[in-house]
Amino acid sequence: MTSENQQKVKSRESTGKPSTKSTEKSFIKGIYDSLASVTLAIFLLIILAMTSIVGTVVLQNGRPEQYLKEYGPGAYRLFQSLALDDMYRSWWFLTLLTLLLVNITLCSIKRFPRTWRLMTQSPAVLDESLFRRMKFRGSVRRGVSPGEAEERIRDLLADRFGKFTENRNEEAVTFFVDRGWYGRMGAYVVHLSILLLAIGAIYGGAVGFKGFVSIVEGQTINRVPLRGRNAAVKLPFDIRCDDFQVIYYPGTRQPKDYYSDLVVIRDGKEVQRKRIEVNHPLIVDGIYFYQSSYGVDQSSTVTFDVLDPSGKVAAPSVTVSVGQPFNVIGDSSTYGIQQILPSYIGGRPAVQMSRITAGGRQDFFISMAAPDRDKLRGGQVYFRIRDANIREYTGLQVAWDPGVPLVWIASSVMIGGLFIAFFVPHRRVWLRVELDPENTAVLMAGSTNRNPASFEKEFDGALVALKQALKKDRGKDIGDKE
Amino acid sequence: MSSSTLFGIATFAYLFATFFYVGYLAFRGRAVGNAATGMVWLGVVSQAGAMIMRWVESYRMGIGHAPLSNMYESLGFFGWCVMIAYLVVEYRFKQKAVGAFVSPLAFVILAANALLFPDEIQPLVPALQSNWLIAHVVTSFVAYGSFAVSFGVSIMYLVKRRSERMGSEGSLVSLFPESKMLDEVNYKSIAVGFPLLSLGIITGAAWANYAWGTYWSWDPKETWSLITWFIYAAYLHARFTRGWQGTRTAVLSIVGFSAVIFTYFGVNFLLSGLHSYS
């Protein structure tokens, strides 16, 4: 900390006799002062850090039975009374966040005038008292004339610091270097960005919506059920899903990518088509459609040929959907489809089957790409997929958040603010030259609000250079002292 | 040479660097100090080589992606960032003694990585196939690296203060840098780490908005990164405006790094959420 930050602000309290009015006033002032204090900021940051942990440990937005099963009825009652099952939206957590915002605002308002003065109203003349207050200082006494000294100092300053100003009176001239004054704005910029962020988040939350919809291939929708609420929004256009596809990493069942071909229809006309995938949403009127999940619609059916081990037709073919049990003539077991994989080997469908007999259950797999492979199972009959009428659905997150642009603006402002707060120190250097032909004395003083160690190097370097520059005959050391 | 051999070399390089740094603390020999720094460089270069090899290899396997996609890869990158941050500090402040407290961190990270996590290159799940991956992971881990340095320095500070109070000078501790310098390095590392952590959170939010349709969902990983952010914000305010220094800021810095570690490991292994793959 430099001395400038420790200057006390003069108290403006009245010196009159204490009255009810002034007690009231000082009470309000007391509240204001604590709301605007950095101590409160530190306290709130630590309390927020501690309480935020709760929501990462306790299940959030679960169903009652989940809580009862995991924590028991007593704990569940406690969770409900403190809203720990939805704590980031609870009244007390939002109160803490609001307090932090109020604190940031008041604290910035309270401190800003002083910062503004430090930024813009630096003393133009280096006098004795200012000189003594500065942490970095030095003086030089040399035999060169004041005029000559001024010339050489101008060169030196231009060389080492760039821009500077001059202030002249009868006794002396002060050169003043003022660099990175805007660095002091950093903290305020960051605080402002946090307020903007909050406004963006609140606005987006209040006006926008988030929902989830699944669309079967070929289907058109224009209503989106909202997440966590028993309501839906009607879109100002229709969305149709023409196709959905999953691509797997070769030889695995791990999806590499999944796509939906979406069509936007407005007043009966197709106005936009887009293939969306994870990380590449469709945007219509600011409404985002994100590829989120997928599955096979219940209406999908598969038609099997039923063959005997020699490859001859053993029974009429069957057409069934998932979970629908069926029997085959001459076979006492019950078969059923567990799961349909629409595009498996070679992009062709496969099914996970089950066979239930008196002895138990057997699972097996049939792929359309390997028609007679099921024979190897060695049953009384085997199946071959003749045809599959599979309809997949695509699961889409739908979000409209008009606060997002403000959130990104706020984020950029925050990064800019942090950068100047940490890496743009406000550095000031004063050089005073006495205009006394008998006695050319130069005083040099400096201050910085950040990184004093590196400023010290710069300052000392400049001081040495100054001493060098003010030698009577530059280049020759004549051994004079300060 | 395979990438795992290179990771192995790096692991032992950091172990030897630790020995040399401790030796340097004990004997102040220039040669020992240089050997320590040399070991760090060996480790950093081997790791860089290993990561590049994995990157190339993943393309050869047809599943090309930056080597930052699972626990094994990110942990290795974490260790690398710690040592890069350390090298910067060593260069800027000319304080080799700090290495005795930072290189063991990198050694433990890499050794644990080799023991605990499978090193095969895995294909990327669709959610990770994004340009945001690199920006998000790099900013976050460089921040973690700086915080690791501030942690090492804070431990040093507390050890030094304790032995000063007990009046037992003359031990290794008396050869630590002066406390003012340790405090300064602590602050500087956080001053670099904090904006990067903010950037890491923001790039993560931007990515989440693209992938999941919401930039913030109070997922445990997100929440813990915010907790970390709160702690370091408290540190900065305490230091700048309340004039906290020394022991109290060292303790806050240690608490902050504990939050970093929990954000990184605790969330993955103890809690569940969207970040389960990394």
pLDDT tens-digit map of A58-109: 888 888 888 888 888 888 888 888 888 888 989 999 999 999 999 999 999 9
Q: What is the mean pLDDT of residues B195-199?
A: 96
**Higher per-residue pLDDT: A26 or B18:** B18
In this complex, the residue of A42, A290, A408 whose CB is nearest that of residue B242 is A42
B162-194 pLDDT, tens digit per residue, is 887 777 655 667 778 888 888 889 999 999 999
ipTM of the complex: 0.89
Q: What is the pLDDT of residue B168?
A: 62
Is B274 within 8 Å of chain A by CB?
A: no
Q: Per-residue confidence at A414, pLDDT binned at 50, 70, 90?
A: very high
Tokens, residue B163: 């032995």
The shortest C-alpha distance from A399 to chain B (Å) reads: 6
Average pLDDT of the segment spanning B69-94:
90
The single residue listed with the structure tokens 């989440």 is: B208
CB contact (8 A) between residue B195 and residue A415: yes
A301, amino acid identity: T
Q: Do A38 and B215 touch (CB under 8 A)?
A: no
Both tokens of residue A151?
A: 């010339």
Number of CB atoms found within 10 A of residue A267's CB: 7
Position B27: which residue type? F
The lowest-confidence range among A178-182, A283-287, A448-452, B89-93 is A448-452
- Quote the minimal CA–CA distance from A152 to chain B in Å: 32
Does pLDDT of A251 surpass 80?
Answer: no
B 57-96: CB under 8 A from A: 62-63
pLDDT category of residue A477 using cuts at 50, 70 and 90: very low
Q: Give B62's contacts in chain A (Cβ within 8 Å).
A: 250
Residues of B with CB below 8 A from A277's CB? 126
At A50-65, the pLDDT tens digits run 999 988 888 888 888 8
Length reported for chain B: 278
pLDDT mean over A399-404: 92
Query: A251: nearest CA in chain B?
Result: B123
**Weakest mean pLDDT among A477-481, B124-128, B143-147:** A477-481
Tell me, yes or no, if A376 comes closer than 8 A to chain B by beta carbon. no
Residue contacts between A and B (CB atoms, under 8 Å): 111
| Amino acid, single-letter form, for residue A331 | D
Q: What per-residue confidence (pLDDT) applies to A239?
A: 94
As a whole number of Å, the end-to-end CA separation of chain A is: 29
For residues A424-434, average pLDDT: 91
Q: Which among B124, B130, B176, B139 is positioned nearest to B154, based on CA atoms?
A: B176
Give the pLDDT of residue A6. Answer: 39
Q: B-contacting residues of A 258-297, CB under 8 Å?
A: 258, 277-281, 288, 290, 292
> Residue A422 and residue B192: Cβ atoms within 8 Å?
yes
Which of A84-93, A294-303, A336-345, B104-113 is predicted least confidently? A336-345
B-proximal residues of A, 13-42, CB under 8 Å: 38-39, 41-42
The encoded tokens of residue A136 equal 């970095």
Angle CA B38–B10–B46, to nearest 5: 80
**Which residues in chain A are closer than 8 Å to B231, comparing Cβ atoms?**
45-46, 49
Picking from B216, B218, B242, the nearest residue to A38 by CB comes out as B242
Q: Confirm or reject contact between B224 and chain A (CB < 8 A).
A: yes
Spell out which residues of chain A touch residue B129, defining contact as CB-CB under 8 Å. Answer: 257, 278-279
Please check whether residue A319 touches B, CB under 8 A.
no
Q: C-alpha angle A71/A76/A82, rounded to 5°?
A: 130
Q: Is A403 on the interface with B (CB under 8 A)?
A: no
A9 touches chain B (CB under 8 A): no
Chain A touched by B230 (CB under 8 Å): yes
SS (H, E, C) A117-150: HHHHCCCCCCCHHHHHHCCEEEEEEECCCHHHHH
**Can you tell me the distance from the alpha carbon of B186 to that of A449, in angstroms, rounded to the nearest whole number?**
18
Nearest CA in chain A to B188: A451
pLDDT tens sequence across A5-37: 433 333 344 444 555 667 777 888 888 888 888
CA distance A412 to chain B (A): 9
CA distance A430 to A171: 16
Taking 80 as the threshold, does the pLDDT of residue A347 lie above it?
A: no
Q: B233 to chain A: nearest residue by CA?
A: A45
Touching check for A420 and chain B: CB below 8 Å?
no
**CA B145 → CA A381, B45, B121, B192, distances in Å?**
63, 16, 24, 10
Q: Tell me the chain A residues in contact with residue B267 when contact means C-beta distances shorter than 8 Å.
A: 56
CA dihedral A384, A385, A386, A387 (to 10 degrees): 170
Lowest mean pLDDT among A341-355, B129-143, B197-211: A341-355
For A194, name the nearest residue in chain B, comparing CA atoms only. Answer: B198
Residue A258, helix vs strand vs coil: strand
Q: Which of A40, A53, A56, A401 to mutate to test the interface with B (most CBs of B within 10 A)?
A: A56
B237 vs chain A: nearest CA distance in angstroms? 7
Check if B116 contacts A (Cβ < 8 Å): no
Which among A57, A249, A397 is the nearest to B63, CB-wise?
A: A249
